[in-house]
Amino acid sequence: MSLDIDAVIDLLKQGKHVKEETVYTLCLRSQELLMSEANVTHVDTPVTICGDIHGQLHDLLTLFEKSGGVEKTRYVFLGDFVDRGFYSLESFLLLLCYKLRYPDRITLIRGNHETRQITKVYGFYDEIMRKYGNCNVWRYCCEVFDYLSLGAIINNSIFCVHGGLSPEINTLDEIRAIDRKQEVPHEGAMCDLLWSDPEEVDTWSLSPRGAGFLFGKSEVDKFLSTNNVELIARAHQLVMEGYKEMFDGGLVTVWSAPNYCYRCGNVAAVLRIEDDLQRNYTIFEAVQPQDGGGNAIIPTKKPQMDYFL
């Protein structure tokens, strides 16, 4: 079927219902586009790096407003588009629409929440069941998840990834060799890239999240040196100040979901990388959703394991 992307973007920005067949077409076209992208996408400066969104549509709109907008700014999104927030579907579909509309201006990287198993537990599946009465749209989106890149490289100098490093990976070429078009495995290199966290540790240690590893400064320094890059930009961890640089500036965590879960009270940030690789952070706060005929239904609160934050 034909697809009026601009009309769909207008609907999504208002949080309004998008027909199932429109979602199907949108997901199919997105797959075709993403299929042609490498595991590690090349991106040019200037570019704005964005962390977790987690279904907070109104805050995503604020992010674009504060950082220039996709019409004139290049973006890398580091994954975790869905789960926890009330508008996971609209947030993800809006990013897909922008990807189709401006393919060179937006890079979407897979996060640990872009999986069938995690979205069944943390809200995305339930949201779609409420909004459509069946799980078809969830299945279409999960198919797209499997085609998202595992990382990006900015000007051959900044490596972007959702989670972090892996003891199984020394070089970017090893990431390029992974078969990414699958559900995220429970262990191994692909899993680690989406799940691992930086920590003040001497060497690799198992992550309390139950997947991935904790890694320290020596692992970061080795990776930077081996791959001739100067920064690892990642998301995956709530940072109350919106961003956090570690290991003498060799790694930064960027977090772009303000007042996470509508209760954490944190601010959010995006990181703009200039042509000379200078870093500029923009901080922004949460907005109160104005539900003017929108499509949100407040979910029942489930007790959730804190270490998945």
Neighbours of 305 (CB within 10 A): 10
Tokens 């429970």 found at: 186
Give the span between the Cα atoms of 234 and 152, in whole angstroms.
11
* Six-digit token string for 63: 């992010």
Residue-by-residue DSSP string for 230-256: SEEEE--S--TTSEEEETTTTEEEEB-
Task: Decide: 97 and 304 in contact? Cβ < 8 Å.
Answer: no
Chain centroid offset of residue 169 CA: 21
Task: Decide: 201 and 212 in contact? Cβ < 8 Å.
Answer: no
Active-site residue set: 113
Give the span between the Cα atoms of 154 and 156, in whole angstroms.
5
